Amino acid sequence: MRANLYLDFLEQSSNVRAFPDRIEIRKEIKKIESSNSKRKADNFNRVIDIQLIAKNRLSNEEKDAVKKIFAEKLQEPYDAVKEKFLARYQSIIKNKRAKTQTEFLDGMEIYNSNDIGLTVEEKAILKDILDGTLVCRGMSYEFSDVILKRFEKTS
């Protein structure tokens, strides 16, 4: 499973910032594998994908190495994660809103990522759409600014 390859890489690289409690994570992976739950596996893979595009989680060299491992061992295209998040970005832009909570959270990761390759103007449009999504859900623009600023600090 993709998660095991990722955890093996983290252990070899001695990166303690990402998944510091790896023994518990490995137990959880075994549970997911034994349950054959596609939804749980997809959620875990999404967490890995976010770590590959987010700021301050892995160095660029570590991200590059993980992508190469996935390409070699899983025949996953090198830019698969980037392409997945670009597709998510296009969906948000096309629909002029984030339709789901997951899409909204991915939109915030995209907004804060330097690895996706969006211009300042594209990020501004995305931020306006994310703000609009929050307003539609009953939150104010000021509140959305607080959320985005807090999210920038944790990403």
2 within 8 A of 45, measured Cβ to Cβ: yes
Question: Which residue type occupies 27?
Answer: K
How many other CB atoms are there within 10 angstroms of residue 74's CB atom?
Answer: 12
Q: What is the rounded end-to-end Cα distance, in angstroms, of the chain?
A: 25
CA dist., res. 125 & res. 135, Å (int): 15
The H or E element containing residue 2 is helix 2-13
Q: Is residue 58 over pLDDT 60?
A: yes
State both tokens at 2: 């993709």
Q: What is the pLDDT of residue 139?
A: 54
CA dist., res. 90 & res. 46, Å (int): 18
Q: What is the mean pLDDT of the chain?
A: 85
14-32: pLDDT as tens digits = 776 777 788 888 899 999 9
108 within 8 A of 154, measured Cβ to Cβ: no
Q: Structural domain boundaries of the chain?
A: 2-74, 80-154
Looking at per-residue confidence, does 92 or 151 come out higher?
Answer: 92
60-87: pLDDT as tens digits = 898 999 999 999 999 999 999 999 999 9
Q: What is the pLDDT of residue 56?
A: 66
Task: Express as a percent the part of the chain with pLDDT over 90.
Answer: 41
Helices and strands of the chain, counted as H and E runs? 8, 0
